[in-house]
Copies of this chain bind each other. A is one copy, B any other.
Amino acid sequence: MKRVSIKDVAREAGVSATTVSYVLNRNPGETISAETTQRVLEAVRRLHYVPNLNARSLSSRRSNLIGVLIPQTEPGKEFMFSNPFYGELLSAIEYTARKNGYHLLLSGTQEDQSYVNVAQNRGVDGIIIVGAYPGRNLEELRGMNVPIVLVDSYVKDAAFHTIGIEDREGARMATEYLIARGHRDIAFVSGSIREHGVNSKRYQGYCDALAAAGIAPDENALYSDTVSYEYGVAAAGEYVRRGRKQTAAFVTADVLAVGLVKGLLQRGLRIPEDLSVVGFDDVYLSRICYPSLTTVHQDIARKGAEAVRLIMEAAAGAHERMECILPLTLVERDSVMERRAR
C-alpha cells in the first residue's frame, strides 16, 4: 500500500504539484481559479490524500509542532505526574494547541538530559518548558532560534518568554488569611526551596505576611523536601514529632497539603480543628479530598492557553520578550478554622 503523495493528487487532478500545494495552503495573495481548486479538492478526497507534515516541515521550516518538556521532578522517579498539576496543565496546553492546528511533542526529561536535542531533532516551532531552573540545560537553549516559553520559572533571560503567577503575593495572601483567623504559629510546608524557584518566592510572601503582623519567622515551622503526597504524609509525622507547635500551615502545593492532611488524620488529629491548612494551585484534587482544601487558586487552563499563545505570537514574528503573570485568588473551603485555645 503506497502512500499517496502530492504528485498522485496532481496527476489525478491534471495539474502540477505546485498547484496542489497552493490550493492546500491558500496563502493570502495567491489566487487559484475556483475551478482548479474544485478539481484538486476532489482528487484529494478521492485519493484520501493526507499531507506529510514532516516533508512540509523540511521545506517550509515550520512544523506546527510544539515541544513540551516536563522535567522529572524527582530524579529516579519515573513519572511526571506525581503532581496532578502537570496533568491539568498539559491537558490545557494540548487543547489549545490542537485548536490552533498544532500538535504536541511530549517529553519528560531527566535533570541530566539535554533539553535541546529533543526539540532540535524534530524542528519544533516552539518549546514549552515547565518549571525549569537555571542551569546548563537552559544555557544550551539560549542559542536556539525557536521561541521558548518557561512556565513557572524565575529565570530572567531575554532569550525566554515566561509565564507565571504572582507567587509571592499568593503566598502572602494565604498566610495573611490564616493570620486574620487568629493564627500566629504558621508552618511553611513546601518542596525544596531553591534560588530562583517558585518556592523561594512563596517563602518570601509567607515572611512578608508574618512581618506585617509583627510575627518573627520560626526556623522550627519550616518543612521542606519534595513536592509529593508522600512527603506531605511524612511532614505530618515530623509535625507531631516537633511537638505540634503550629496551629496552621501554609502548604505550597495541593498534593503536598493533601498528604499532610492525610498523615494527620491517620494520627488521629482532626482538620481543621487541630491544624488549619491552606494549599496552593487549586488542583482538581483539592475539591475532591476530605476535608476539601482552602487553597490559593490559579487558572491552570489559562496558563496552558497563554503558553501556547505566546509561542504562536513569537512564531508569528513578535520578537520582544514577553512575560505573562497570572493573578491568584483564594478559595475558601473546609480546611481552615478560626483559632481557638487548645
Q: Which B residues are CB-close (under 8 A) to A120? A: 3, 50, 52
Q: Which A residues, 118 to 165, have Cβ-Cβ distances below 8 Å to chain B?
A: 118, 120-123, 143, 145
Q: Which B residues are CB-close (under 8 A) to A255? A: 288
Residue of B at shortest CB range from A80?
B91
Q: Which B residues are CB-close (under 8 A) to A261? A: 290
How many A residues touch B, CB cutoff 8 Å?
Answer: 56
With A91-B79, A94-B108, A105-B103 known as contacts, the answer to whether A50 contacts B117 (CB < 8 A) is yes
* Among A57, A78, A301, residue most surrounded by chain B Cβ atoms (within 10 Å): A78
Please measure, in the bound complex, the distance between the C-alpha atom of A116 and the C-alpha atom of B3, giving whole angstroms.
13
How close is A102's CB to chain B, nearest CB, in angstroms?
10
Q: Choose, from A82-90, A214-222, A306-314, the stretch at the interface.
A: A82-90
Are A106 and B108 closer than 8 Å at their CB atoms?
A: no
Q: Which of B80, B82, B122 meets A103, CB within 8 Å?
A: B122
Q: Does A315 touch B at the CB level, under 8 Å?
A: no
Q: Which A residues, 33 to 85, have Cβ-Cβ distances below 8 Å to chain B?
A: 50-55, 57-58, 63, 68, 78-82, 84
Q: Which B residues are CB-close (under 8 A) to A259? A: 288
Would you give 16 A-B contacts (Cβ < 8 Å), ordered by A?
Answer: A50-B120, A54-B54, A54-B57, A54-B58, A54-B122, A78-B91, A78-B301, A79-B88, A79-B91, A79-B92, A82-B284, A94-B107, A98-B107, A103-B121, A229-B287, A288-B289
Q: Does A269 touch B at the CB level, under 8 Å?
A: no
Q: Which of B108, B122, B284 meets A95, CB within 8 Å?
A: B108
With A52-B123, A143-B1 known as contacts, the answer to whether A288 contacts B301 (CB < 8 A) is no
Instruction: State how many copies of this chain the complex holds.
Output: 2
What is the predominant secondary structure among interface residues of chain A facing chain B? helix
Taken residue by residue from 204 to 219, chain A's Cβ proximity to chain B (1 for < 8 Å, 0 otherwise) reads as 0000000000000000
Are A121 and B285 closer than 8 Å at their CB atoms?
A: no
Q: Does A258 touch B at the CB level, under 8 Å?
A: yes
Are B92 and A87 closer than 8 Å at their CB atoms?
A: no
Are B258 and A288 closer than 8 Å at their CB atoms?
A: yes
Q: Does A326 touch B at the CB level, under 8 Å?
A: no
Are A54 and B288 closer than 8 Å at their CB atoms?
A: no
Q: Does A265 touch B at the CB level, under 8 Å?
A: yes
Residue of B at shortest CB range from A104?
B106
Residue of B at shortest CB range from A68?
B106
Q: Does A262 touch B at the CB level, under 8 Å?
A: yes
Known: A50-B117, A54-B57, A81-B84. 10 other contacts (CB 8 A): A54-B123, A58-B58, A68-B106, A78-B91, A79-B95, A80-B91, A90-B106, A262-B288, A265-B290, A289-B289
Q: Which A residues, 280 to 330, have Cβ-Cβ distances below 8 Å to chain B?
A: 284-285, 287-290, 301
Are B81 and A88 closer than 8 Å at their CB atoms?
A: yes
Please measure, in the bound complex, the distance between the C-alpha atom of A1 and the C-alpha atom of B159, giving whole angstroms.
15
